[in-house]
Amino acid sequence: MKYLFSVLLIALSCFAVKAQPTIIAHRGSSFTAPENTVASAKLAWEQNADAVECDIYLSKDNRIMVMHDGTTKRTTGETYKFPETNSDVLRKLDAGSWKDQKYKGEKIPFLEEIIATAPKGKKIVIEIKCGPEVFPVLKEVVSKCKKKKQLIFIAFDWQNILIAKKMFPKNACYWLSSSAADVQAKLPEVAKNRLEGVNLNNKIIDEGTVKKAKDLGLEVLAWTVDDPQEAKRLVQLGVTAITTNRPDLIRESLQ
């Protein structure tokens, strides 16, 4: 019996070492495909990502659009600000050609379109880039969504992530930060407000930060990691999810 117990402990130990973190595709598989597009999301699923992260803004006519920047200049070549522009204008822009001509005609997606790509069992991580004005519309979009349980919310803005947690209490919510000092000061509040954890710039993640978070019952997620060796370091520290532009590479390197 003692021998069998020892064997079981060794087996469990091996399983723990081999446990895979959640792989989150940063703006989709954005190393290859144009970021924050349906094409990028679909490629991430083909590469076996566990989740796709996207960024949202609210257009002038109250449609939630998927884009990282506050203007459309970098990825479309034309400059429009979301709060000042209706969605029909934004949808005419080419958000794919800047990456590769084979993606010519990719539109700036509606949030609903990105959510619709998610296969069963996969997640959509929604980063709230704009202000609280988005929440009434976001609530409506989520209420009509058949994949509500597959949604996760993240935000740098502290009040935004608290609103998200209050509005969607059954969905995981994580506070984003790239400041080590802010994280150390804020971790108790993250736990007090029943957030699931923190989503941190990989450069500020160390053993002490992960331990403090775990002692408070919090997860630590990391962004944005395209280096396999860095991914392995983070996994060894106990990071539970890694956001990457290259989900295929990071997945393969951790197997």
pLDDT digits (tens, 9 = 90+) for 32-56: 999 999 999 999 999 999 999 999 9
At residue 7, does pLDDT exceed 50? no
At residue 230, does pLDDT exceed 90? yes
| Gap between the Cα atoms of 58 and 130, Å rounded | 7
| Gap between the Cα atoms of 230 and 236, Å rounded | 10
Residue 11 banded pLDDT, cuts 50, 70, 90? very low
pLDDT of residue 17: 43
- Write the DSSP string, 9-25: HHHHHHHHHHPPPEEEE
What distances in angstroms separate CA 108 from CA 36, 39, 48, 60, 63, one per listed residue?
8, 11, 23, 15, 11
Mean pLDDT of the chain: 94
Q: Quote the percentage of the chain above a pLDDT of 90.
A: 92
- Write the DSSP string, 77-132: SS--BGGGS-HHHHTTS-SSTTT-GGGTTPPPPBHHHHHHTPPTT-EEEEEE-S-G
Residue 163: count other Cβ atoms within 10 Å of its Cβ: 19
pLDDT of residue 14: 40
At residue 151, does pLDDT exceed 80? yes
Predicted TM-score of the model (pTM): 0.93
Both tokens of 234, joined, read 């983070």
pLDDT of residue 50: 98
Contact 232, 14 (CB under 8 A): no
How would you label 218-237 residue by residue, b for 16+ Cβ within 10 Å and e otherwise? bbbbbbbbbeeebbebbbeb
